[in-house]
Amino acid sequence: MRTAYTSDQIRAAEAALMATVPEGTLMERAATGLAVICARMLGAVYGSRVVLLVGSGDNGGDALYAGARLASRGARVDAILAGSRVHAGGLAALRRAGGRASDARDDAAVRGLIGAAVLVVDGLVGIGGTGPLREPYATLAGLANDAPGEVIAVDVPSGVDAADGRVDGTAITADATVTFGAWKTGLLVDPGSRHAGRAELVDIGLGPYLPDPDASALTDADVALRLPRPDATSDKYRRGVIGIAAGSEHYTGAAVLAVGGAIRAGAGMVRYAGVAEPVAQVRARWPETVITTLAPGEGIEEVGRVQAWVLGPGLGTDEDALAIARSVLASDVPVLVDADALTLVAKDRTLLRRTAPVLITPHAGELSRLLDVPRARIEARGLEHVRRAAADLGVTVLLKGSTTLVAEEGRPVRINPTGSPWLATGGTGDVLAGLTGTLLAAGLSGYDAASCAAYLHGIAGQRGPLAAGDVVEAIPDVVRSIMNRLREDG
């Protein structure tokens, strides 16, 4: 599992480690790792033109020491000094190795150097940077982004908030980011992750001094270990019976897609409850489904026993839909609340007052209604608001978006690393609901079910262009691939 930390957590760990090692050890380790990755990006180091963008902080020192190593191998290295001060030891090392330094105020020289560079090293602002870049940093970031050469960021791209990935104004868009000691949460969350490019971690010895993580991201192995596997004693009931209350006369497709997501994810049995029109569509597409046709105003009391419910995709928001929602939420099993059911819950939050677990799966607009917060603010600060929703509502939250986040009070936010923009098409959320509900019914917690489902769903949506039905059909191959990879790895 990839664990991530805030800037304060990293600084505290660094301080604890520095108390045990000679002065300068951490910068030496960081600069060495940075230089190795720079050399890999350059290919042929000798004769390559490298520009260092150097700020006042320690990451400017990291860049200077790494530049000195490249210069000693024959690279032409120019440092553009942008800060009010400079790391004296790093600058002296660069000059001893044959590197040169220029003042950022020399506009013509700066533009010429950056434009001619094969590699630009962003050492302007480190993990302590917040808010918009000031001058001359903002101008240098813009020049680096427009330059023909590759850009590598030191620890975190300048202009990206290391704590949550926020970007206010101009920020470096790197081809690669070399981060030291531990992952920073902002490197895993959009828009920060988009600015980071390919992120690589350099171990500088922080491990023993790191606290519980701020956030985490699952890997293939983590998901494979959590996925339910049938054995010789399994039957359809032991594998998990999922109930799905979805669809309406106007939105029949949502029911078909949610049921499909559940079936293709390996549910032992799917019980579907809905009104006549979506019932006909589900019966025609998924004949293995056990179906109950609901009369207007009728609840799910006669559906039969299930291990978890999915409530809401295409359900509508009228009185009949409310009756279904009330009956599902009155049950004693975990309930996934999605789509139209979120609208119903936003009007009456007392529906969430239940002893059994609740997992909600909103996008930013739906969460804005639940929290009474503008959608734009949620999109800009997803981490903050997914945590708040989990705490205020007392539920597990899967917040859908360019980065899908899973939050539960008292636990690190899980950041899904497999998302794909191809999933931004109608119906894919219904598929995710069915997939997640199957994992809930199989016995996974809301936290694990949401995290694993988002991971699998993201992979299933990576080969576009696609429709929601394509995601349904891709799920079994994705699950098999993940499980087989774990077997191959021993």
169 is in an annotated binding site: no
The answer to whether 183 and 413 are in contact (CB under 8 A) is no
67 is in an annotated binding site: no
60 is in an annotated binding site: yes
Cα(415)–Cα(20) distance, integer angstroms: 33
254 is in an annotated binding site: yes
421 is in an annotated binding site: no
48 is in an annotated binding site: no
184 is in an annotated binding site: no
99 is in an annotated binding site: no
158 is in an annotated binding site: yes
445 is in an annotated binding site: no
425 is in an annotated binding site: no
233 is in an annotated binding site: no
Q: Which residues contact 161 (CB under 8 A, 6 or more apart)?
A: 129, 130, 167, 168, 186, 192
380 is in an annotated binding site: no
Hey, is 400 helix, strand or coil?
coil
59 is in an annotated binding site: yes
Sort strands 100-103 and 150-154 into parallel, antiparallel or unpaired.
unpaired
- C-alpha distances in Å from residue 256, one per residue of 251, 289, 411, 452, 468: 10, 11, 34, 22, 11
58 is in an annotated binding site: yes
347 is in an annotated binding site: no
At position 400, the amino acid (one-letter code) is K
Per-residue tokens: 259:
């049921």
Q: Kindly report the length of the chain.
A: 490
Per-residue tokens: 203:
């171990």
106 is in an annotated binding site: no
Cα(194)–Cα(266) distance, integer angstroms: 33
416 is in an annotated binding site: no
CA torsion through residues 199, 204, 206, 207, sign? positive
Cα(47)–Cα(416) distance, integer angstroms: 41
Match 């019980």 to its residue by tokens. Answer: 271
477 is in an annotated binding site: no
Cα(165)–Cα(156) distance, integer angstroms: 10
402 is in an annotated binding site: yes
Per-residue tokens: 47:
């004769």
Hey, is 358 helix, strand or coil?
strand
63 is in an annotated binding site: no
122 is in an annotated binding site: yes
Annotated binding-site residues for AMP read: 400-404, 429
Annotated binding-site residues for (6S)-NADPHX read: 58-62, 126-132, 137, 155, 254, 314, 363, 430
Annotated binding-site residues for K(+) read: 59, 122, 158
Annotated binding-site residues read: 58-62, 122, 126-132, 137, 155, 158, 254, 314, 363, 400-404, 429-430
